[in-house]
Amino acid sequence: MSEQPSIDGTRLDPAVYLEHVDSEAAALLAAADDLEAAVPGCPGWTVRDLLSHVVGVYRHKIVVLDTDAQPPARDDAWGAIPDGADPRDVLREVHAALRERLRAREASAPTYAWWPPEQTVGFWQRRMAQETAVHRWDAESARDGVDGASPVDADLAADGIDELLGWLTWPWDDDPQSAASGQSVVVSTADHTWTVTLHPTRVEVAGGGSDDAVALLAGEPSGLLLHLWGRPGEHGVAVAGDETALALLRERLATATT
């Protein structure tokens, strides 16, 4: 099997994703000094909850990569922390186990993934790098505020935008948007551009711009990625154009990132 091509040529080398999984996890742990601090981008969560979430995500992927199948339901939460354990220590252990599995196989090796177009280990190498980077920002924003958290690496952030917009192309037959009528929104960084076209039960995403676009979202890669993921703060993103089209896109993004 092969990796799914990115929409606008953002895909990184597998080794780069693996480096980000390690560096972002280390930075997340370094920022998690106050377990009871509120996480601005995850309302109702503390840093303790954030760590538990990441532990659960990692544990789930370990089972996926061990079995090449969708994991069965379990009685306890994936992110359950043993009584008396420090969630930071648990995350270190689970990260080490996930790291071993992500590095053990080629990116093109087949495995289960919830995204049908790409059933490969490479999907998870990419996804875990992106997951960890955004949650590292969450941990830093809990410690330093949304304006004090470090940006996501520009190349990784651009690829995260590409990944997220790609998810919007999944069929929306069960959740139609009656106000969608082919409006296009351009999403742009200095080096990459995507055009998102909204229909009632489908979304088209293409690399490059469009003269027919009715709205624009533009900014630096990290700020734009965090904006699309609904993280608080302005992030330096320019928002212009048709409010209906922008609202439709925000609605689709909110569903895709929940």
* 82-104 average pLDDT score: 98
Q: What is the pLDDT, as a whole number, of residue 15?
A: 98
What tens digit of pLDDT does each residue of 200-243 get?
999 999 999 999 999 999 999 999 999 999 999 989 999 999 99
C-alpha triplet 95, 97, 102: angle, nearest 5°: 90
What tens digit of pLDDT does each residue of 163-195 get?
999 999 999 999 999 999 999 999 999 999 999
Tell me the whole-structure pTM to 2 decimals. Answer: 0.96
Beta pairing class for 193-198 and 203-207: antiparallel
Q: Which two tokens stand for residue 125?
A: 């190498």
Average pLDDT, the chain: 97
* CB-CB contact of 219 with 236 (8 Å): yes
Sorting pLDDT into bands at 50, 70 and 90, what band is 28? very high
* Three-state secondary structure call for residue 87: helix
E strand or H helix at 45: none
Please tell me what DSSP assigns to residue 62.
H
Set out the domains of the chain in order of their start, with CATH numbers: 14-150 (1.20.120.450), 164-256 (3.30.1050.10)
The C-alpha atoms of residue 158 and residue 20 are separated, in whole angstroms, by: 14
Rounded to a whole number of angstroms, the distance between the first and last alpha carbons of the chain is 28
The C-alpha atoms of residue 32 and residue 20 are separated, in whole angstroms, by: 18
Is the pLDDT assigned to residue 30 strictly greater than 80?
A: yes
